[in-house]
């Protein structure tokens, strides 16, 4: 396989690999490093890539495993999540501050979820993967994925509702 053929296969998944690494490693720099390392690993296995029916799912699985290995090795335990995914000049400063605060709360809530729920939430609600693809990436059956996703969404919803209702007296 030539370098161009390899890049044609890998480039469509590169952004998703980065976002998954960013979610797991919580640092832009660590995620960039992880993405590069995974691409290098994939390059070394380039002849095997053609054997996979869903190359994107394979790249995401390799990314997930690499990032989890990095976390286990504690290379990234002093990093923080800082999301600034929303950037629009059309929003007032007040509204922009509210949005950032809300994203910050959602990130805190997501960090409190079990790792499996975090991963399923990231892959389904952020990356928009289908359940079949998540099943392949996570090596889980689809029912377990749906349950984990439902529990993650419920926890996020309950925590946000509790935050928003804080100090409001109900009659």
Q: pTM for this structure?
A: 0.53
Output DSSP code: residue 85. -
- The pLDDT tens digits for 1-20 are 788 888 888 888 898 999 99
The residue that leads in pLDDT, 122 or 78, is 122
The residue that leads in pLDDT, 9 or 36, is 36
Q: State the virtual CA torsion across 140, 126, 53, 150 in degrees, nearest 10.
A: 30
**pLDDT (0 to 100) of residue 169:** 60
Q: How confident is the model at residue 75 (pLDDT cuts 50, 70, 90)?
A: very low
Task: Please state, in angstroms and rounded to a whole number, the distance separating the CA atoms of residues 111 and 52.
Answer: 32
* For the chain, the helix, strand and coil percentages under 3-state DSSP, each to the nearest 5: 75, 0, 25
CATH class of domain segment(s) 93-164? mainly alpha
**pLDDT (0 to 100) of residue 76:** 44
Neighbours of 147 (CB within 10 A): 14
- Tell whether domain 3-72 is in CATH 1.10.1740.10: yes
Over 70: is that where the pLDDT of 44 sits? Answer: yes
Domain boundaries, the chain: 3-72, 93-164
Over 60: is that where the pLDDT of 154 sits? Answer: yes
Over 90: is that where the pLDDT of 143 sits? Answer: yes
Over 90: is that where the pLDDT of 144 sits? Answer: yes
User: What average pLDDT does the chain have?
Assistant: 83
Over 60: is that where the pLDDT of 138 sits? Answer: yes
**pLDDT (0 to 100) of residue 81:** 41
**pLDDT (0 to 100) of residue 90:** 59
Mean pLDDT of all residues in 58-86: 68
Q: How confident is the model at residue 88 (pLDDT cuts 50, 70, 90)?
A: very low
């Amino acid at each position: 396989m030539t370098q161009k053929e390899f890049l044609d296969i890998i480039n469509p998944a590169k952004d998703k690999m980065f976002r998954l690494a960013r979610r797991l490693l919580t640092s832009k720099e660590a995620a960039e490093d992880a993405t590069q390392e995974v691409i290098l690993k994939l390059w070394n296995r380039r002849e095997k890539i053609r054997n996979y029916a869903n190359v994107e799912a394979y790249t995401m699985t390799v990314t997930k495993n690499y990032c989890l290995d990095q976390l286990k090795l504690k290379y990234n335990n002093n990093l923080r999540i800082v999301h600034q995914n929303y950037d629009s000049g059309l929003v007032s400063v007040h509204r922009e501050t509210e949005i950032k605060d809300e994203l910050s709360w959602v990130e805190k809530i997501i960090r409190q979820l079990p790792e499996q729920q975090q991963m399923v939430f990231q892959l389904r609600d952020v990356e928009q993967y289908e359940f079949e693809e998540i099943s392949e990436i996570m090596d889980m059956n689809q029912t377990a994925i749906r349950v984990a996703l439902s529990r993650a969404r419920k926890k996020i919803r309950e925590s946000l509702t509790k935050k928003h209702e804080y100090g409001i007296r109900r009659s």
